[in-house]
Amino acid sequence: MSNSELIEQLNNMLMQEHACQIRYATHAAVVSGPASEEIKERLLEISGDEAEHAKKLRDRIVALGGKPTLKVHEADLKEAYDLASILQINMREETEAITAYTKILETVPQSNVILYRTLQDIIQDEQEHLEELTNLL
């Protein structure tokens, strides 16, 4: 993958991370029902993780000579108001993010240690998110 293609792919993930941060924060605000306090807290923590992913991506994009996007991937801004839908939507989104990041990782040479490890760290977080959401079901 060329440098400019890589920057484009990372910017595409950055748009998705922007949406993930907003989506989790909104779902945290609206979730209700038994154990909702614990779930709210967890969703807010995940929202913070997604913000951290966005920060890491911006730094890597700048390091590659690119410009980090301000855009939000609107298709990922999925409304939900009940716990089952909230969990389902986010489990699907996490699964898609893991697939997308893994595809990008496959094109990055391991010698590019910073980017390689950054992507691995993000994938690990997304896998942990997926596992936690599955356990909340």
Indicate the residue among 64 and 100 with the shorter CB distance to Fe ion.
100
Site residues, Fe ion (CB under 5 A): 17, 50, 53, 126, 129
Indicate the residue among 34 and 122 with the shorter CB distance to Fe ion.
122
Q: Shortest approach of Fe ion to residue 125 CB, angstroms? A: 6
Q: What DSSP string runs through 108-128?
A: S-TTSHHHHHHHHHHHHHHHH
Q: What is the dihedral of CA 25, 123, 135, 40, to 10 degrees?
A: -10
Q: What is the dihedral of CA 33, 34, 38, 40, to 10 degrees?
A: -10
DSSP conformation class of 74: G
Indicate the residue among 38 and 131 with the shorter CB distance to Fe ion.
131
